[in-house]
Amino acid sequence: MRKSSILFLAAFFIILNRIPTLSESRSNQTSWTDKVAPEVLVAAQSGEVEYLVILREQASLIQARLLKSKEEKGAFVYETLTSFANINQKPLRRALDALRADYQAFWVTNMIWVQSDLEALQALAQREDVAKIAANPSVPIALPPIDFSPPSTQAIDGIEWNIDKIHAPMVWDLGYTGQGVVIGGQDTGYKWDHPALINSYRGWDGAKVDHNYSWFDATDPSNAIAVDPHGHGTHTMGIMVGDDGGSNQIGVAPGAKWIGCRNMDESGNGTPATYTACYQWFIAPTDLYGENPDTTKAPDVINNSWSCPVWEGCSDPEILLSVVQAVHAAGIVTVNSAGNGGNSCASVAEPAAIYEESFSVGATDSSDTITYFSSRGPVTVDESNRLKPNITAPGSSIRSSYPGNPEDRYVYLSGTSMAAPGTVTSSPPIVRQPMAKSDPASASLSLLSTSSRATSVPARPKMTRAPEIRLRWW
């Protein structure tokens, strides 16, 4: 009898220990939500929602540093990332198929874009291999106002003032116009056949066009023709390579070739997923069907005249960090506009300009004064206190190419979006062209000591943290 009582009590306590308390039960029910961005949870209450599933394990690219050439780095990064994603994502992709959810897998970072209902969202968040679920907000670009009238600074013998300001013609005279260099740009798109851009488009051979490996539309992969419904992208590309063979010498490197990726739709909205898709495509450009990736066709440098602001929904400032790190590891320079957040401290606050691997550019006017709209450092949104921007360049009243009728094919725009393109093609590709071709990402590190003067300007009196560094062309 006593033995039976003991056995009964033992069994009772075992069962009791397996029954969760009220607090434990609540914890088990809500713990999966800790992985999910709050805005995703809110949106999922009303129906299907799109989001980014970031897996726990990420590939290591540290060995890319040991490789000497850009070609070696690009091949290593592509093979490493694609192999890792193919193996690591299999279980999750099987689960997504079972859930009948729409999804797109990325390899540039171990991440999958998903669109599903709340039930599927919960099932994914509860998986051990899922680190977090981030929002994929639609982020509208802040397009600068168009000015069709010329400013007080006129073109100099057909060469625009911003081109002359950074002494690009002096470099041209040495025989370096960007020849042999491929420039990538991701923006609102590009009017490839603009008179100032057509001859430098890699897909144009002088008689016919072939958009394979030269164009990708991340907003609509089925779009096989390079377009720009806004004009912002066309304007930035003109600053990089624009030359119509006549009086419109608007580009810093007219001898370079360019390829483009559209990361914003007809409404001017981009998302972390479309930005990621463009970065991924640049590492290994594909044909128009998204097939046959080729790292040897990757650009040497990419211009990014856009941002993904926290205040517009990109709540995780590191959402694109591993992506940009992968591009850098592949030996590709990534140049970013610093942002137009104004002259207050710590206004460089948006991906991807905030990252160490991004070469971030602020804006100056024709008198070499930093513009009122140009964002300042340091970067505090990620608690790094990183010094940004890395350099400044002309970005006020810049004349460049624009879609439209013949009479308005050239307009004036202002912004750090106009400053970044000037450094894309006047830094490693032209100034240090031989070294840049073998490893442009490493060549960019020497830019600060060869083409600019740095001055340390405290952002406020008696600062206890690192001062803001402002760099300008000299």
Catalytic residues: 187, 232, 417
- Cα–Cα dist 387/362, whole Å: 12
Question: Residue 41 is encoded by which pair of tokens?
Answer: 């949870």
The closest of 369, 456, 375 to 420, measured between CA atoms, is 375
Burial class for 66, CB neighbours closer than 10 Å (0-12, 13-18, 19+) = exposed
- Cα–Cα dist 159/248, whole Å: 7
- Cα–Cα dist 191/198, whole Å: 9
- Cα–Cα dist 401/242, whole Å: 7
Q: Can you tell me which residue has the tokens 């990325």?
A: 106
- Cα–Cα dist 130/40, whole Å: 15
